[in-house]
Amino acid sequence: MSPTPSTIQEYDRAAPSPEQTETATFALGCFWGPDARFGALEGVVRTRVGYAGGTKADPTYHDLGEHSEAFQVDYDPEQRSFKSLLDLAFRSHDHTRQPSSIQYQNIVFASTAEQADAIASYLDARGLTREGIATRVEQLSRFHPAEDYHQKHSLRGRQSLLNTVEQAGYDDADIRESPAAAKLNGYAAGNDLPEGHDLGTSANRTVH
C-alpha cells in the first residue's frame, strides 16, 4: 500500500487547524534534517523551513545577512508539549559549541512569554543558564519562509511521493503547509511515523 491523493487530502482535512496549534521555532544547523525529524513526530501537525535570528528584511538562501537556517513546528498542545520539542532540540545538538558559520548556528527561539518561561525552567532544571551555554536563546522577531525548493526537501527528492502529492492538487504553498507532506517528508528522510499517521507507507518501510 502506498499513499494516494485521496489519502493525503483526507489526512489534511482531519488535521487540527492552524488556530488549534501552537508554533515552536528552532535553528539547528542545516534545516532539512530537523524539518523532517520533527515533522515525523506524533502531535506535530505542520512544519516549514526558513530564516531567523538576524535583521535583514528579505533574506534569501544566497543572501542571508545575519540570519540562520531555522524551522518552525506547528504542534497540537493536546498531544505534544513545547517542553518535549525543546528537549528534542537540545538533544539534537551540543549546547557547549556553536558553529562558526552564522548560517548554521544553534538557536532556541521564544515567541511567547510562556515559551520564554519554559526555556528558563528547562535550563534551570539542568543547572544551565542562557549566558553559560553556546546555544543562543532569543525572542523571535520574525520568521522568513525559505524558497519553495527547500520546503519538504526529502519529500521533493522522492519523485513517486511528490507526484502523489501533486496529483492531490497541491502547489508549492500547499506542500509547505500540508500536515500530510510533513509526515511524508519525515518518512522520505528515513524517520519512523507514528501509528495511524503513516499514510500507507508502512508496507514500504524498507524502501528508501
In three-state form (DSSP H/G/I as H, E/B as E, the rest C), the secondary structure along the chain is CCCCHHHHHHHHHHCCCHHHCEEEEEEECCCHHHHHHHHCCCCEEEEEEEEECCCCCCCECCECCCCEEEEEEEECCCCCCHHHHHHHHHHCCCCCCCCCCHHHCEEEEECCHHHHHHHHHHHHHCCCCCCCCCCEEEECCCCEECCHHHCCHHHHCCHHHHHHHHHCCCCHHHHHHCHHHHHHHHHHCCCCCCCCCCCCCHHHCCCC
Concerning whether 30 is annotated as a catalytic residue, the answer is yes
pTM over 0.85: yes
Mean pLDDT of the region 33-56:
98
Among 19-28, 72-81, 145-154, 199-208, whose mean pLDDT is lowest? Answer: 199-208
Kindly state the average pLDDT of the residues 140-162. Answer: 97
Q: CA 147 from chain center: how many Å?
A: 15
pLDDT band per the 50, 70, 90 thresholds, residue 202: confident
Q: For 169-180, what is each residue's pLDDT tens digit?
A: 999 999 999 999
Residue 204 has pLDDT above 80, yes or no: no
| Ranges 60-64, 114-118, 155-159, 204-208: which has the least confidence | 204-208
Q: pLDDT grade, residue 203 (50/70/90)?
A: low
pLDDT above 70: residue 71: yes
Residue 2 confidence (pLDDT) above 90: no
* Mean pLDDT value of segment 21-48: 98
- What percentage of the chain has pLDDT greater than the value 90? 94
Q: What is the DSSP letter of 196?
A: T
On the question of pLDDT at 1 being above 70, the answer is no
Looking at 1, 18, 20, 30, which residue is catalytic? 30
pLDDT of residue 207: 39
CATH topology of domain 5-194: Peptide Methionine Sulfoxide Reductase; Chain A (3.30.1060)
**pLDDT value at position 149?**
97
